[in-house]
Amino acid sequence: AAAEGPAEEEEEEEEEEDCEEYEDFSELPDTCSIASDDSFYPPRGLEDEDEDRWSLEQEGRDSPEALSLFRACCTNNTIVLKALIRQGPEEEEVRETDRNRRNGLIVACYQGYVDIVIALAQCPHLDVNWQDNEGNTALITAAQAGHITITNYLLNYFPGLDIEKRNVFGFTALMKSAMQGRTECVKALMLAGANVHATDPSRGLTSWEWACYTGRSESAFIMQKLMDRPCPEQFCDQYKPEWPKMKELLAKAAEPKTCLQKISECMRAAISFRSFYGPEEDGVLDHMVKVTTSLSSPFIALSCRTVCPGSPPSVGKRRLAVQEIIRKQRAEEIRSQDKDHFSSYEKLFQNSKVTLIPKKKDRRASLQPISLAVTQVNTIATRKASLLPLHLLRRSSVRPGFVIPKVRVSKAPPPTFQPEKARRRSSAKDDPYLQIPKWRYKELKEERKKAEELEKIKAAEAQKQRQVSPARSRT
């Protein structure tokens, strides 16, 4: 009995553990499972639910803050950035930086946000040469990171860009790109006019020596090749697609061959040797590349148009931005037009009539022209004719300029006045207005309609007579 007592107590304890009572159903362990009806998917704890509830209440209380120009650049939000630029941001908003003194352009160049960089090209008050705490500019950041599209856009569409800007360690954009082995950026910077012979203050090494020092063999090879051939001549409009070795080879082929040369040519044609020869300098492949990439090539001429065909890029020559090139070309066009400016205006207005507009103090109430002596008019007209804008010159042509309207003021009629009604004229001969023309095809159409209507009436009458005649015969 004593043994049975403890066994019964253990069974009762197990039953109590199995049948625990919960006052709050949220304490049940099954509420966090996926299979229960009251649970959420994915399963989360009570602490997460409290945090979500608090965040929802906080969002309901505080409205979201508007994105600034700097935040739009950092989050790659091109739509908001373009809208802010269209509204005209203030200088303080454009110059906003983070704790490392990086502005929106430097952040976009670091992250590789191409659309942000393109949009910032139209932003006012933007300093493209801004430096952060380490002295890095947007160009140094983009070249070091290897973003070739951003690097090319900075070089081509940001006027006033300083390629030789150095950071706190004395490194330029070309040195940083050569150290990191960014071959495409190295080529772009060298053809944009970066100084190849510039050295850093600590070790006194050039960009090519830094590429060799850091083991960037491909960058060092490209730099040496560009320094050997600094100017791509095929990018000039004066390039002639002629192979210089062609005349020499044709003259050599036309020479008489010896017997030994003929035998060797026959042996080469009969036996094929598997030997690899690299491309020759100024050989056929080099000439083919120059011809296909020249400005007169159909591959290039149909797809794009250069703004300065007479000045191809070259190593060591500073290349201007597109806006600066276009501004320079427009200034030259205006200078060339100014020489023939007066003669063209004389030809244009030789048969024209000029009406002078008087000053405010000389104006009168009437709109009649001021009568001046003939000599006085001639002297004033010759002096002011070329100074007046085109829309102020009244010309005696088919389409004159702005004509001063004539206003007629008449006395108001009495209140009992009734206007006479215009009587209609019966006869068309006395009518001063043109009559509506009568077309022949319309008359024929109306006659045809009338004839069809008459035929329908006759057919209906004949049918009625046929129906009446049998009825009479029956009676």
Which region among 7-16, 62-71, 272-281, 315-324 has the lowest average model confidence (pLDDT)?
7-16
- What mean pLDDT is predicted for residues 18-22? 49
Query: Which range among 24-28, 217-221, 271-275, 410-414 has the greatest average pLDDT?
Result: 217-221
Domain locations in the chain as residue ranges: 69-231, 245-312, 320-350
pLDDT for 434 equals 77
Region 152-166 average pLDDT: 94
pLDDT band at 375 (very low <50, low <70, confident <90, very high): very low
To the nearest 10°, report the CA torsion of 231, 236, 238, 244: 50
Q: Name the average pLDDT for the chain.
A: 76
> Is the pTM of the predicted complex or chain greater than 0.85?
no
Please give the share of the chain, as a percent, with pLDDT higher than 70: 65
293 CB-side CA count, 13 A: 11
Contact 167, 136 (CB under 8 A): yes
Are 81 and 94 in contact, with CB atoms under 8 Å apart? Answer: no
> So what's the pLDDT on residue 11?
56
Give, in words, the CATH class of 69-231.
Answer: mainly alpha
As a whole number, mean pLDDT of residues 335-347 equals 62
Comparing 45-54, 321-330, 339-348, 401-410, which segment has the lowest mean pLDDT? 45-54
Q: Please tell me the predicted confidence (pLDDT) of residue 33.
A: 40
Confidence at 329, pLDDT banded by 50, 70, 90: confident
Q: Does residue 190 have a pLDDT over 80?
A: yes
The stretch 290-300 carries a mean pLDDT of 77
Higher pLDDT, 465 or 351: 465
Span 348-375, average pLDDT: 51
Show the tokens assigned to 417.
């006045």
The CA dihedral of 134, 136, 140, 144, to the nearest 10 degrees, is: 30
Q: Which of these, 372, 378, 379, 375, lies nearest to 358 by C-alpha position?
A: 372
* pLDDT score for 65: 67
Put residue 430 in one of left, alpha, beta given phi > 0 → left and psi -120 to 50 → alpha: alpha
| CA 6 vs CA 16, 17, 296: distances in Å | 15, 17, 107
